[in-house]
Amino acid sequence: MKRNLMTKTSLLALAMAAAVSLAACGASSESATATPAPTATPETSTAEDGVSDDMGVAEVAEPDSELSAMVDSIYEAYPVELMMMQTTAIDLNDEAWLTYNTGLSAEQAALVDAGVKSESMTGSQAYTLVLLRVKNADDAQTVADTMLEKMDPARWVCVMADKMRVATFDDKVLFVMTDSELTDIDALFAAVPDALGVEFTYDKSAEVAADDAMVPSEEEMNNPVAG
C-alpha cells in the first residue's frame, strides 16, 4: 500500500524554513495569525508491510480520495503553478488546526464529513484552496459563509491574500483565497463547473483590505515561544 510518509528531519526542515522566513520579515504589524503548534504524531509500526518505524518515521493521514481527485481535476482545467504545491488532509479533530485551515469551530466541524487543502509548502505564497464535503448538503451554505467570514487572509509568513471566494455544489464547499498576482481566482472558479461536471448552488466572493488581517495583539506578539 502506498503511504504518505514524512520524517522528523523533513518536519524540522520545514519548521526551520518557516522560522527563517519569519525572522527575515521581522515582527510586522501585518503578521499572520500564529500558526498552531505542531501536533505530535505517534510513531507507528507498519506491520502489514513488515516495515517498522523505529527510525522515527511518522505516518501522515491520506487525503480523502474523492476530494483529492476533484482538486486534481480543477488544476488540470486551471493550473496553479506555485512552488511545492501539495494537497493534504484536514484534521477535523484538531480544533486549532481546523480553525487555522478552515475558519470553522469545533462545533461547526460536526457538520463536515471530510476536507482537504491545497497550498504551497513554502509558507510564503498567499494561496490556499480548501474543499470540504459536508454531511448534509443543506449545511453547505452555512459552512461557506463561515469560511468567508472567519478565514484569516494574512495567515502566511509576511504575505497576504487580497481576495476570497467560496462556492457550494452538491454536498461540497470550495473555498479559495489568494494574492491576485499569483492566481486569478475568478478564472479558477469559472473552470470548476466544466472540470467537475457540476453547477454552483451558492457563490460569493470578498475583496480583502489590509486592515482585515487578524493581527495578534501586542501582548500576544510579546508572549514567549513555548519550548
Q: Where are the domains of the chain?
A: 62-217
Number of DSSP helices (H) and strands (E) in the chain, helices first: 7, 8
CB neighbours of residue 85 within 10 Å: 18
Q: Which three cell numbers stand for residue 114?
A: 471530510
Residue 175 pLDDT > 90: yes
Return the pLDDT at 100: 94
Residue 28 pLDDT > 70: no
Adjacent-strand bridge partners of 164: 177, 206
Return the pLDDT at 209: 74
- Taking residues 137-155, what's their average pLDDT? 96
Is residue 95 within 8 A of residue 122, CB to CB? The reply is no
Residue 177 pLDDT > 90: yes
- Taking residues 141-154, what's their average pLDDT? 96
**pLDDT tens for residues 88-136?**
999 999 999 999 999 999 999 999 999 999 999 887 899 999 999 999 9
Average pLDDT, rounded, for the chain: 78
Is residue 94 within 8 A of residue 39, CB to CB? The reply is yes
**pLDDT tens for residues 201-227?**
999 999 987 665 554 444 433 444 343
Nearest alpha carbon to residue 169 among 206, 132, 205: 132
CB neighbours of residue 96 within 10 Å: 14
User: Which of 53-57, 85-89, 153-157, 186-190 is predicted with the least confidence, judged by mean pLDDT?
Assistant: 53-57
d(CA 42, CA 8): 11
* pTM score, whole prediction: 0.74
Residue 171 pLDDT > 70: yes
Return the pLDDT at 210: 65
SS3 193: helix
d(CA 204, CA 175): 10
Burial class (CB in 10 A: 0-12, 13-18, 19+), 62: middle
- Taking residues 153-165, what's their average pLDDT? 92
